[in-house]
Amino acid sequence: MSTTINKEEIQKFSKLADEWWDVNGKFKPLHMFNPIRIEYITENIKKYYKIKSNKSNSLEGLKILDIGCGGGLISEPMARLGAKVTGIDASEKNIEVAKLHSKKSDLQINYLSCSPENLNDLNEYDVILNLEIVEHVENVNFYINSCYKLLKNKGLMFTATLNRTLTSYIKAIIGAEYILRWLPIGTHDWNKFIKPEELEKTLSQQKFLTVDIRGMKFNPFSKKWKISSDLSVNYIISSFKS
């Protein structure tokens, strides 16, 4: 049976699970990255579903699936905005951390330790989040196909990953892992990075239509991320199930 699980990748992140919510720990880059991801995702969800409200419960009524949720860094903000969130991760330790933190935060999130192909919620979700996950899965085509089955007709999906360029090798591997030590050495395999045109082709083959594609760029002076037209390192594609 086909699987999206890469056991080495799961073990790698399981070892770091206790640090998910430490803003100065191994996941510090994700905590820095989170505000711009949340802003982009919520704005595009509202635009796509024609939601005009800016209230704290503006995503109420939407069912969101966060795949590779880790400790819940995206699941929790989505739940605070009123969405009904399911977070899944192949690492049981990640899910344990996510459950504990959501309980402390008094948030109702359905956390499950599984991969998307093993989830039976067919045609269930309005939105699927694939954030920094496709570069860690075993079979990208099978993974995207599994997402397609879980998404409602015309449902929206966000796929964020890293481009396979010389710039990304310098910044995401040499810079982030070896020089700045933002991430443990070996966190990423540059050969698994995916070019935007490759990902768009895969999405199209699996009957997704691209709505928008944007780069995300780090400003070393302000220490903040911003949305950019530069796709050379980090980028995110929003697409819908056709």
180 found inside a domain: no
12 found inside a domain: yes
- Percentage of the chain exceeding pLDDT 70: 100
175 found inside a domain: no
CATH of the domain at 157: 3.40.50.150
Does 180 score more than 80 pLDDT? no
Position 1 scores a pLDDT of: 56
The residues, ordered by sequence, that sit 6+ positions from 70 with a Cβ below 8 Å of its Cβ are 13, 20, 27, 30, 89, 91, 94, 98
Q: Which helix H or strand E contains 148, and what residues bound it?
A: helix 140-150
Q: Report the candidate in 126, 110, 124 with the shortest Cα–Cα distance to residue 45.
A: 126
190 found inside a domain: no
Instruction: For residue 69, give Cα distances in angstroms to 94, 98, 128, 197.
Output: 8, 8, 11, 25
Instruction: Domain count for the chain, please give it.
Output: 1
Position 66 scores a pLDDT of: 98
Q: What angle do CA 63, 135, 38 make, to 5 degrees?
A: 40
pLDDT tens for 181-219 read 777 777 889 999 999 999 999 999 999 999 999 999 988
- Going by the DSSP 8-state scheme, the letter that residue 109 receives in this structure is -
**59-63 mean pLDDT:** 96
176 found inside a domain: no
27 found inside a domain: yes
Does 87 score more than 90 pLDDT? yes
Do residues 75 and 139 touch, judged by C-beta distance below 8 A?
no
Please provide the average confidence, as pLDDT, over all residues in the chain.
93
110 found inside a domain: yes
Q: Which two tokens stand for residue 76?
A: 């929790």
Position 6 scores a pLDDT of: 86
179 found inside a domain: no
> What is the residue range of 217's domain?
7-163+195-241
Q: Which helix H or strand E contains 110, and what residues bound it?
A: strand 110-112
